[in-house]
Amino acid sequence: MSDQSLVIGLESRLLNAWPSFDYQAYDGWILRLANGYSKRANSATPLMPGAALDDDLLDTMIARFVEANVRPTFRLNGLQAADADQRLAERGFQEIEATCVMVVPVREGDCAVDPEVRLQAEVTKRWVREAAESYGGDKADDSTLMQIVSRIRQKAAFATLDLDEKPVAWGLGVVERGYVGLYDIVVSPELRGIGLGRRVVSSLMAWGYQEGAHTAYLQVREENEVARSLYRSLGFGDAYRYTHRVMPPPPPASA
């Protein structure tokens, strides 16, 4: 695969593995909306090399976000036209949360499903509630998370790691066309840093291999060096990166 083919292939799989509620296509861009839960499900992303962004198109997409009460957000993965980032910057869009997409080949014998990791083919309210609670913050909305993961049409595995019969780590694997995507890897806050996430990731990779995957991929914020170090220790390497451009909040009303 060329670099652009790899980006298009993984971005397409990401759209399917993490569904939104509303999709709109605009000249090489896909605008997705999901009640504001997670930027990847609530952003405009280029899916065609050289996707242009002129003022009229930018105004149109901004209006769609505003109508949906979602902060206008653009995910820039390198497929966009060369001037798109500068155009957004000139409009005051702020660059935040640079993210790395990492990949690793999955081979027989590289990993195995941990006997203490439960893998379920269907999502449960308990999995969603516990995973969302451990995430906390903006991602603690378990009802919206349930709506998103219930829309997955590819083969999926919802992982839960139990420690002393208590659930302590969670993850989601989605297999499509030879790739297994790893999503929502989260560990109980009081137990982070002792290798529980590694066990979930390895189990989902092994499950993916059993389901025909030759490569695993995931996304991790560039600033999260702890997680990136974990993934590098499992053989993951950077495939490409994307950044977000978000519209700044309006200034506070004067008294």
Q: Convert 89-110 to b/e letters by CB count within 10 Å (16 or more is b).
A: eeeebeeeeebbbbbbebeeee
Please say if the pLDDT value at position 195 is more than 60. Answer: yes
Assign 32 to helix, strand or coil.
strand
Higher pLDDT, 181 or 166: 181
pLDDT at 23: 95
- Range with the lowest mean pLDDT among 8-17, 64-73, 185-194? 185-194
Instruction: Give the CATH number of domain 107-213.
Output: 3.40.630.30
HEC readout, 140-159: HCHHHHHHHHCCCCCEEEEE
CA of residue 121 relative to chain centroid, distance: 19
Do residues 146 and 125 lie in contact, with contact meaning Cβ atoms separated by under 8 Å?
Answer: yes
Model pTM?
Answer: 0.91
| Phi/psi of residue 201, nearest 5 degrees | -60, -50
DSSP state of 35: T
Do residues 183 and 62 lie in contact, with contact meaning Cβ atoms separated by under 8 Å?
Answer: no
**What is the rounded CA–CA span in Å between residue 136 and residue 139?**
6
Higher pLDDT, 137 or 90: 90
| Phi/psi of residue 234, nearest 5 degrees | -95, 5
> Can you give the residue ranges of every domain in the chain?
3-100+242-246, 107-213
Please say if the pLDDT value at position 137 is more than 60. Answer: no
In terms of DSSP bridges, do strands 237-246 and 215-221 run parallel, antiparallel, or are they unpaired? unpaired
Average predicted confidence (pLDDT) for the chain: 91
**Confidence category of residue 2, pLDDT binned at 50, 70, 90:** low
